Amino acid sequence: MNANKKYGFATKQIHAGNKPDPTGALCTPIYQTSTFRFSSVEQGGARFAGQEEGYIYSRLGNPSLTTLEDKVAALENGEACLATASGMGAISSAIWSSVVAGDNIVASDTLYGCTYALLNHGVTKFNVQVDFIDMADLDALKKAIKPNTKVVYLETPCNPTLKIVDIAEVAKIAHAANPEIKVIVDNTFCSPYIQRPLDLGADVVVHSATKYLNGHGDVIAGFIIGKADFIATCRMFGLKDMTGAVMSPFNAFLILRGLKTLDIRMERHTKNAMALANFLHDHPAVKKVYYPGLPDFEGHEIAKKQMDLFGGMMAIELNADRDTTAKCINTLELCTIAVSLGDAETLVEHPASMTHSTYSAEELAMAGIAEGLVRISVGLEDADDIIADFKQALDRLL
Ligand code: LCS
């Protein structure tokens, strides 16, 4: 690539970050090594002291990961990126790098269950106080920010209700209160092809790369993207000392492979999701469809403004109790009952008993996660086949 030229997303997902390999290998090799040789004690010392560039040990950096990190930074329009062993590794490494005892975090009340657990009963053990609010309510945000608030944390669309939060407005409010506050956005549901939070004013993006970025259901991984100095702190403290959540070179290779088709996959996920959402919207057994692409969905206008596509995630509530809902889901023949999302396969799960079982009954109610809510990660199969599968399952309820 020519460093002075601007390239499109598809070109960047294939070429950005790639380094010429001495062997001429087209794909970045898997540097399956834990450590790196030093030519002398002096050279090792210079690398540890940061006086000489070069690899030391794979918890601190590895060439397979460097290529991937540079590519993901380019896709999110960030200065730098850190690859991690999981999405939770990214989130916890970023949080440990942002707060100390006595600090406050203002967080969305609707988050992936383990993120909620980390904030609700993880960091609170270390005297970091967390206030959960409806992040779509900007007045609630204004009221919640305190002098010791260091982080504002959100997902949009939220897992699992797809609630939309206005990233630009949240960033404006947080930075007006205190420019030092880090607005951290989990961009897992969108991927940078659909939404780029840093362009909208956020400070840090985190990802579960387990999902759309890898896209093939065979890797657990994460990323943190942001300013170079913050990513350096995440690398040399948050990850190196606090979580140790380092990505393996093999997983970096798989994600590099998956990323080459990110845009094509996101287009197809969205097309299939839009078709399924329209079908479900008109089915008499369905009470409500939660999908940002539907004009009657709350947050649709904000979604249109900040997302380039509406994505592949949705949820539905049926005109049925929890047991009947479960029975209906059990009759799906093609779609798979499984947690995770962003894979080629359509995955269906029940948040209240699975991904969000870390929430108490009151917390579920507060976040609007109904007992009968069913989350769907719409896959890449033929839309007609996905729709036919839901039709045969839902028609049994009539
Ligand atoms: N952020 C979001 C929005 C997620 O959905 C997940 C996992 C994570 C972070 C954590 O990433 P991980 O450590 O698993 O790579 N979400 C899951 C879900 O909804 N079903 O299974 C896992």
Q: Tens digit of pLDDT for each residue in 254-287? A: 999 999 999 999 999 999 999 999 999 999 999 9
* Atom of ligand 1 lying closest to residue 188 CA: 3
DSSP class per residue in 196-263:
-GGGGT-SEEEEETTTTTT-SS----EEEEE-HHHHHHIIIIIIIIII--PPPHHHHHHHHHHHTTHH
Q: Which of 86, 159, 165, 185 for a ligand 1 pocket mutation test, highest count of atoms within 8 Å of Cβ?
A: 159
pLDDT band at residue 149 using 50, 70 and 90 as cut-offs: very high
- Average pLDDT estimate for 14-21: 96
Hey, which residues are catalytic here?
Answer: 59, 112, 186, 211
pLDDT at residue number 138: 98
Rounded-to-integer distance, Cα 279 and Cα 92, Å: 39
The answer for 145, left when phi > 0, alpha when psi is -120 to 50, beta otherwise, is beta
pLDDT at residue number 202: 99
- Give, to the nearest 10 degrees, the angle between helix 249-259 and helix 63-75: 40
Beta-bridged to residue 226, according to DSSP, are 80
Using DSSP's 3-state secondary structure scheme, residue 330 falls into: helix
Per residue in 199-216, pLDDT tens?
Answer: 999 999 999 999 999 999
Angle, CA 288 vertex, CA 287 and CA 290 arms, to 5°: 160
pLDDT at residue number 305: 98
Per residue in 293-330, pLDDT tens?
Answer: 999 999 999 999 999 999 999 999 998 888 999 999 99
- Average pLDDT estimate for 346-362: 95
pLDDT band at residue 69 using 50, 70 and 90 as cut-offs: very high
| Nearest residue to 74 via CA among 3, 157, 20, 171 | 3
Is there an atom of ligand 1 within 6 Å of 108 CB? Answer: no
Written as one letter, the residue type at 121 is H
| Protein residue whose Cα sits closest to atom 22 of ligand 1 | 340
Is there an atom of ligand 1 within 6 Å of 293 CB? Answer: no
pLDDT at residue number 378: 99
Per residue in 168-198, pLDDT tens?
Answer: 999 999 999 999 999 999 999 999 999 999 9
Beta-bridged to residue 149, according to DSSP, are 104
Is there an atom of ligand 1 within 6 Å of 43 CB? Answer: no
pLDDT band at residue 57 using 50, 70 and 90 as cut-offs: very high
Is there an atom of ligand 1 within 6 Å of 78 CB? Answer: no
* Atom of ligand 1 lying closest to residue 111 CA: 3
pLDDT at residue number 317: 96
Cα dihedral sign, 290-293-297-302:
positive
